Amino acid sequence: MVLTDKQRTDLHAGIYEYLLSRGPAFAATAEALAQADPEARSSNSSTDNSKTDGNDDEPSNSNGTSPRKTTPSSATPVLEKKWTAVPRLQKRVLELERQISSNQRIHAHRAGFSGGTASAPLDSTTASGGIRERRMLPRPPAQHSLQSHSSGITALALHPIYTLAASGSEDGTIKLWDHESGDYLRTLRGHTNVVTSVDFCPKGGGYLVSCSTDLSIKIWDVKDNFVCVRTLRGHDHTI
């Protein structure tokens, strides 16, 4: 690694500051470094002076010079701060690499994603002229597995604003979930037969509407604790 003159001076100044902070046991080593590179001492001194500008009440020795100030134990030398920052950065890099690897596995099936890097969009035809089917199917692992119905699930709807999902089932119930956390919220009962469809109002999602083979349509108020505010009847066959 090739350092510039400025980088080398800053490094030596940091080492000099660190040695001084370790007390008298390292004073000789610090002095040897200062003799080998006088700029290390001058750079460190200029830094100390900039920190103490405006303080004219410091005591002085009999010869009129200010005594050498040792780094207080509460102040961490710059070299130590940089040294401890390196492991944190390495840990963060490893976490980001794991996230990238996970995203590559999850999105590898998508068009325009090849080997973890974005590529040109795939055409609908192959080089040989055949038709390539562009399938955007979900791939494992699943983010959550939601289980509570006692029979087959026949309908599913997502709230347009909140992280709320509603599922209808052959058991005649509607269950509400937080699809972001995977938590089960509550069960709506009212239909007496298979729930065939559920959907939220597209404008704000203030109501949930469900229909069933019991020939009824029910409207549930999302903002009023999912109370069934109306039941519509009139069909003669399965809705």
User: Which of 239, 183, 212, 177 shows the shortest CA–CA distance to 228?
Assistant: 212
Is residue 229 within 8 A of residue 220, CB to CB? The reply is: yes
User: Which of 226, 79, 209, 115 shows the shortest CA–CA distance to 155?
Assistant: 209
In angstroms, the CA 47 to CA 49 distance is 5
- The dihedrals phi and psi of 223, each to the nearest 5 degrees, come to -80, -15
Residue 93's Cβ-side half-sphere holds a number of Cα atoms within 13 Å equal to 6
Is residue 34 within 8 A of residue 19, CB to CB? The reply is: no
User: Which of 181, 175, 148, 147 shows the shortest CA–CA distance to 163?
Assistant: 181
Please state the pTM of the whole predicted model: 0.44
Peptide bond into 77 cis (omega under 30): no
Residue 113 DSSP one-character state: E
CA angle 186, 189, 193 (to 5 degrees): 135
What whole-number percentage of the chain has pLDDT above 90? 31
In angstroms, the CA 175 to CA 148 distance is 8
What mean pLDDT, rounded, does the chain reach? Answer: 77
Neighbours of 13 (CB within 10 A): 24
Least confident of 12-26, 103-117, 182-196: 103-117
Residue 186, strand partner residues: 176
| Amino acid type, 174 | I
In angstroms, the CA 134 to CA 67 distance is 77
Query: Which of 5-14, 28-37, 145-154 has the largest mean confidence?
Result: 145-154
In angstroms, the CA 27 to CA 38 distance is 15
Per-residue pLDDT tens for 173-229? 999 999 888 899 999 999 999 999 999 998 877 899 999 999 999 999 988 889 999
Determine the average pLDDT of the residues in 101-124.
Answer: 59
Residue 14's Cβ-side half-sphere holds a number of Cα atoms within 13 Å equal to 14
Residue 212, strand partner residues: 195
Per-residue pLDDT tens for 59-107? 444 444 444 444 444 456 677 777 778 888 898 999 999 999 888 887 7
